[in-house]
Chains A and B, each alone.
Chain A
Amino acid sequence: MSAPYDVESGDAVHPGHPVQVDRYTVGARINHWITAISLILLAISGLALFHPSLFFLTGLFGGGQMTRTIHPWIGVVLFFSFFGMFLRFWKANLWKSEDGTWMRRIRDVIAGHEEKLPELGKYNAGQKLVFWGMSFLIVVLIASGVVIWNAYFSTFTSIGQQRVALLVHSVAAVAIISLWIVHVYAAIWVKGTISAMTRGQVTGGWAWRHHRKWLRELVSRKTPGSSGTRGTPAE
């Protein structure tokens, strides 16, 4: 494994018992959680205006007027926050040949038979699809959202265009919330994942099981730059 595969800056392996692997830098984690909080707030405030039976959720934001006011601004925060994540993660999310194999063996994925799957880089095909799906949907949502942001942009488009934007915005919102459910569920289902986004680290066993190619590359690559706890292996 000579050419860099999809190791990102900050990824490092610390031998020990168990082995610890740095997966996300502090910056990446802050970036992720700003995006996550924004997305949740957007989903709640958006759903409140989407279906009458959920209108009561506007109470969390200080009423209907406040919800209507604040929702688009949170959208702006999310857009820029996600853009930062996109710059960090896009390279490692490029489609690779093993991703096709992974997709064809989706039954084994769902059944948890990881031994039947190819060795994977930093992300599996499912994670990549979530990444690109989110990226695409966020662009659609910000674009359609600006069109229906009545307070500032109502005069820039025709009412016909705004109607289309409303429909597109709600369909895209349903899609992104569903994708978010998949994303969160995957993190809960695959034990040991959440620590990647809280403490920034996963165990070596987790990396071995789910992203072996990435782990192998990290181990083989171990450059002098990634020092830190490197010196105390034999505990």
Chain B
Amino acid sequence: MFPPIPNPPVTPTPAKFGEGDLIRRSASNLRVPVEFKEPVAKLIDVSKCIGCKACQAACLEWNELHEEIGTFNGSYTNPPDLTENSLTLMRFTEWVNPETDTLEWLIRKDGCMHCADPGCLKACPAPGAIVQYSNGIVDFDHDRCIGCGYCVKGCPFNIPRISKADHKAYKCTLCSDRVAVGQGPACQKACPTQAIVFGTKTQMKEWAEGRIKDLKSRGYKNAGLYDPPGVGGTHVMYVLQHADQPSLYAGLPDNPRISRIVEAWKGVTKYVGLGVMGFAAIAGALHYLVAGANKVTPEDEANAEKLTEGGRS
């Protein structure tokens, strides 16, 4: 058993991280802090998940959110997709393993992966609406969010959702408010089987190693850790029984990375675009200085008068 995180003291404690620990801030230049916090991570062990949805309930409760009562559509996955209220979602997949011919129930807790290289943050046009702390948490600041939905396009995992009520983007915060006072996220606290554990990223990797060894000993020869390098690693990691095929798990991307289209749009297009428009304006000004105004001459007027006189008869 992973040692549980003790409850916080009842006396107020200063936050463990805050504004001074930002390493990225959307649409802003930022002075990176000298000292980095120890990176944190949440480890989700899919093989230990029993699908009870305590994490989903805890998430709603801690964040004071309410999901609308939906309709049953043939799956335990409920609601059928992430919403602005359901920041995390158990996705249920029934898979017949062709090697063993047995049914496997793959239950993946979906939600923000807290990428080291966050596509949402890179796409965001509103200064400070998305921030990344040096401990790895990627958080949204709703007071600054403008609801454009660029984060949705930037995200390689299809996580952020725009609220129909206030037109702002919502996603898992990794319970940054709880982590700031030394607690683990609400989902981790509620998980009855320790399928979700929380600690430093190093601790989580070590813990995952033990789990993977155990799974391999029980015949899951492809068991492994999902910490995709395409996004610089994530601060939410999975232990997967079939780490060679992440997409089995309700379409978890095999090799996620920020779309090259998004990179082109936020990179070269931004600079070349300003350059082209600036060039057009400067070229005009220079042309005016060099060539001077194109003026109608008195002869032109005289010619026009002659023409109209002649034309009238």
Contact = CB atoms under 8 A, between A and B. Distances in A.
Interface of A: 13, 15-19, 48-52, 55, 58, 63-65, 67-69, 110-112, 114, 148, 150-151, 154, 159-160, 162-164, 166-167, 170-171, 173-174, 177-178, 181-182, 185, 188-192, 203-209, 215-216, 219-220, 222, 233
A163 B262 contact: yes
Contact of A19 (B276, B298, B308): B308
A13 to B, nearest CB: 6
B274 A215 contact: no
Contact of A68 (B28, B146, B261, B273): B146
A205 B27 CA distance: 52
B148 A215 contact: no
B158 interface: yes
B305 A18 contact: yes
A204 B149 contact: no
18 contacts: A15-B305, A17-B305, A19-B308, A52-B27, A52-B125, A64-B126, A67-B146, A148-B153, A170-B265, A181-B281, A188-B288, A189-B294, A204-B308, A205-B296, A205-B302, A208-B300, A219-B310, A222-B312
Interface in B283-313: 284, 287-288, 291-298, 300-305, 307-312
B305 A19 contact: yes
Interface in B124-143: 125-127
Interface residues of B, number: 54
Interface of B: 27-28, 125-127, 144-150, 152-153, 158, 162, 167, 259, 261-262, 264-265, 269-270, 272-274, 276-277, 280-281, 284, 287-288, 291-298, 300-305, 307-312
A153 B268 CA distance: 27
Contacts of B126: 55, 64
Contact of A171 (B162, B259, B273): B273
B154 to A, nearest CB: 8
B313 to A, nearest CB: 10
B143 to A, nearest CB: 10
Given A167-B269, A174-B277, A205-B303, A55 B294 contact: no
A164 B261 contact: yes
B125 A55 contact: yes
Nearest to B301: A205
